[in-house]
């Protein structure tokens, strides 16, 4: 369920930490920085790209566990696909040590060997987060749905 409340609840410092987790997710992919990318996820995180891939007739299995998510995404892109993500329109609701984040993410994907082959995706992220004892927020569940795309996602994602 997306965060569509007219008023949402988040202390400003929580809002910054929560949105920073999604920014680490995006920039970690773009820079192919495994440490930065991994820092966004809880150890038992789940990433579901299935709804997005269904938009172009693809399928993607749900990924479980921080190490699996990081290895799967970075191994499939490094040296093959260049990415650039832009995160906008974050909406946050905090309930104790759990939070919900909805955001729009535009993601450009270009084949490294032929940058004329691309897929530009506008995705809606529905994210659950957990607060860590040190106050950081980590992504615990990420569901990515596609709103629209241009280009050839099949060539980029397989």
User: Considering the domain boundaries, does residue 69 fall inside one?
Assistant: yes
| Residue 5 falls inside a structural domain | no
Question: What is the number of domains present in the chain?
Answer: 1
Q: What is the pTM of this model?
A: 0.93
Q: Please, which pLDDT band fits residue 33 given cuts at 50, 70 and 90?
A: very high
Residue 91 domain boundaries: 12-157
Does residue 8 carry a pLDDT above 70?
no
Q: Kindly write down the DSSP assignment for every residue of 102-142, as one continuous string.
A: EEEEEEEEEESS-TTSEEEEEEEEEEEEEE-TTS-EEEEEE
> Is 1 within the bounds of a domain?
no
For residue 45, the domain's CATH number is 3.10.450.50
Mean predicted lDDT score pLDDT of the chain: 94
Residue 7 lies in a domain: no
User: CA 31, CA 47: separation in Å to the nearest integer?
Assistant: 19
pLDDT at residue 2 in the model = 73
Domain-located, residue 2: no
Count H helices and E strands in the chain, helices first: 5, 6
Q: How confident is the model at residue 5 (pLDDT cuts 50, 70, 90)?
A: low
């Amino acid at each position: 369920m997306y965060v569509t409340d007219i008023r949402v609840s988040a202390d400003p410092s929580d809002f910054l930490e929560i949105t920073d987790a999604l920014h680490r997710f995006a920039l970690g992919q773009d820079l192919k920085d495994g440490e930065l990318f991994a820092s966004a996820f809880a150890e038992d995180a789940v990433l579901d790209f299935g709804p997005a891939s269904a938009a172009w007739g693809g399928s993607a299995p749900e990924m479980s566990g921080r190490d699996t998510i990081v290895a799967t995404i970075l191994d499939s892109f490094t040296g093959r696909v260049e990415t650039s993500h832009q995160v906008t329109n974050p909406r946050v609701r905090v309930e104790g040590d759990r939070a919900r984040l909805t955001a729009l993410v535009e993601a450009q994907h270009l084949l490294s060997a032929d940058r004329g082959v691309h897929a530009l995706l506008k995705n809606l992220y529905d994210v659950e987060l957990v607060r860590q004892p040190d106050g950081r927020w980590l992504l615990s569940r990420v569901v990515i749905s596609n709103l629209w795309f241009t280009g050839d996602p099949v060539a980029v994602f397989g």
